[in-house]
Structure 1
Amino acid sequence: MATLKNKVALITGGSRGLGAATARALAADGADIAITYVSSKEKAAAVVDELTALGVRARAFHNDQADTGAAPGLIVNVVEHFGGLDILVNNAAISVEQGVAVDSPDADIDEWDRMHATNYTGVIAVTRAATKVLRDGGRIVTVSSGVAARTGVPGLADYAATKAGIAAYTRGIARDLAPRGITANVIQAGLMETGMAPPDPETLAALTSSLAIQRQGRPEEQAEGIRFLVSPTASYITGAVLDTNGGYTA
């Protein structure tokens, strides 16, 4: 199917995990693909090779989302290379475990600041820059997490806050962008192999046992939620949260 032919999609954090799976899914639907990476240059190049083999244009851009000042330049570079922008998938994120219990170690303050910058202010910076050039009828999908609605285990308070905050932001911009026919939605993803630091085995077992579908999801499965929300058939859906987390929030 070529439902996204002549569309240009930017997927942040597209060198691995859910970002790479989303890039493949949208390329299979005909979209030209820009992905960003921070340190995985070789992995990003490999994804680009996969995408071009599907017959679409693709390019990887180095961008550290924690550097909010770099967002406008990223968008300019994407538009200069591809000639426009139709779809933004805010996928890049990091996780730092930090609890407030007496016996819980504090994260390094620089790590804590970097997580908030990457997961929250960085997403806003990229989105604000993108909306200046996003074509009417465009799509924005931001990857949140089931922990935004149900934390479930200790040590995730700050990470959960960044994800809940960006979901609220998305509901707001859905109102702002509706007159241009641009939709903005969230998927609340769940456990999967993404390349981020996995939970310790005990925590992973506890999280898996709390799911309705008691296994980790595959990135390709969760990318289908994004694929749907950026498709023409989702034109009347905006400001919504789609759970793709195996029933973690059920």
Structure 2
Amino acid sequence: MRSLMGHVALVTGGSRGIGAAIARRLAEDGAHVAVTYVHNADQAQDVVRFVEKAGGKGLAVRADFSDAEQVGRAVDEVASFFGRLDVLVNNAGFMDVSGTPLAEIPLDVVDRTLDVNVRAAFVAAQRAARHLERGGRVINIGSCLGSRVPGPGATLYAMSKSALTGLTKGLARDLGPRGITVNQVSPGPTDTDMNPSDGPHADAQRALTAVGRYASPEEIAACVTFLAGQAEGFITGADLAVDGGTNA
């Protein structure tokens, strides 16, 4: 069943990994899909071609989500191009993988993490709220680290994803009276190029799960499209853990 037939979805950071999987699944469910990207223009166009092959219209918008003005402009461009906006998926994210000790993390890295992971999601939702009608959906991509941090080295990222949980719950209250739901999907270890299941830290992450494996990006995407569907209008302000039992 193509439950999102004719709807328009914007997936931020949708050129690769979890974002690309979400964009493809939304297209398979009938949606027209726009994705934003910063560097991966070819990959973004691959996603657009997939959307078009699935029968929808696709659009790739270059936008650096550390810049609030570019965030707002991207949302407006998508709504203008398609004439509407029904689903916003705040997937764009940044994680410092330099391994810098806590005491030495520079403030510009702190700023970029919060700008991309928190401020951009706020600005995108704020701008999308101008276009969303009753039945609209906002879905934020959080992290299992937003509610439990099993070891050192993730303080900054965990702080940003915890803030995203608060944003989700607040937006649910603000937009609920308009018939717009806001939810969060919080993945555990997921096999992407940023965190491959054969990477140097994979065994430790896999051991934290109850099921003993990584998720595929498609498993995360399936939960996002579930929340995007029109049958799920009574779920809002929720944080759906898709973490293989990491935080069980």
TM range (shorter): over 0.9
Question: Could you tell me the TM-score, scaled by structure 2's length?
Answer: 0.94
Which stretch of structure 1 is more off in the superposition, 193-202 or 120-129? Answer: 193-202
Secondary structure (helix, strand or coil) at the match of 1:196 reads: coil
Structure 1's consecutive aligned runs of 4 or more residues displaced over 6 angstroms after TM superposition are none
Aligned position for 1:112: 110
Question: Following TM superposition, by how much is the alpha carbon of 1:147 offset from its aligned partner in structure 2, in angstroms?
Answer: 0.4
Matches within 5 A, 1:167-182: 167-182=165-180
SS at match of 1:238: coil
Q: How many pairs does the alignment contain?
A: 248
| Equivalent residues in 2 for 1:39-118, closer than 5 Å | 39-97=39-97, 106-118=104-116
* Counterpart AA for 2:194: M
Q: Could you say if the C-alpha distance between residues 98 and 104 of structure 1 is closer, same or farther in structure 2, counting changes exceeding 3 Å?
A: farther
Q: CA RMSD in A?
A: 1.9
* Structure 1 partner of 2:138: 140
Residues 115 and 159, structure 1, Cα contact 8 Å, conserved in 2: yes
* CA distance, structure 2, for counterparts of residue 204 and residue 97 of structure 1: 14
Any residues of structure 2 matched to 1:187-226 within 5 Å, and which?
187-196=185-194, 203-226=201-224
| Rounded Cα–Cα distance in structure 2 between residues aligned with 1:209 and 1:67 | 37
Q: Which amino acid aligns with 1:3?
A: S
How far is the alpha carbon of 1:96 from its aligned partner?
1.2
Tell me if the contact between 2:191 and 2:197 (Cα under 8 Å) persists in the aligned partners. Answer: no
Partner Cα separation in structure 1 for residue 195 and residue 209 of structure 2: 20
**Counterparts of 1:190 and 1:104, CA distance in 2:** 23
For 2:25, the equivalent position in structure 1 comes to 25
1:65 and 1:247 map into 2 onto residues whose CA distance is 31
Q: 1:99 deviation in Å?
A: 8.0
TM-score, length of structure 1 as denominator length: 0.94
Question: What is residue 124 of structure 1 aligned with on the other side?
Answer: 122
Cα 1:155/1:198, change in 2 over 3 Å = farther
- Give the superposition deviation at 1:105: 6.5
- Structure 2 Cα separation of the partners of residues 152 and 73 of structure 1: 38
Deviations along 1:48-87, one digit per CA (max 9) or x if unpaired, are 1111111100010001111012222112211111010000
Query: Could you tell which deviates more after superposition, 193-202 or 25-34?
Result: 193-202
Q: Which runs of 5+ in 2 are unaligned?
A: none
AA matched with 1:165: A
Q: Which string of whole-angstrom CA distances, capped at 9 and with x for unpartnered residues, describes residues 104-150 of structure 1? A: 56234322221111001111111111111112210000000000111
Distance 1:25 1:142, change over 3 A: same
In the other structure, the counterpart of 2:161 is 163
* Structure 2 CA distance for partners of 1:201 and 1:25, relative to 1, 3 Å: closer
CA contact (8 A) 1:139 1:182 kept: yes
Aligned to 1:3, what secondary structure does the other structure show?
coil
Name the CA distance, whole Å, in 2 between partners of 1:38 and 1:247. 32
**Contact residue 189 and residue 215 of structure 2 kept, 8 A:** yes
Call closer, same or farther: CA 1:129–1:54 in 2, change over 3 Å.
Answer: same
Counterpart AA for 1:120: V
Q: Mean Cα displacement is larger for which, 44-53 or 195-204? A: 195-204
**Amino acid of the structure 2 residue aligned with 1:51:** V
Any idea what SS the aligned residue of 2:142 has?
Answer: strand
Aligned-partner Cα distance in 1 for 2:28–2:198:
35
Cα offset, 1:195, TM superposition: 3.1
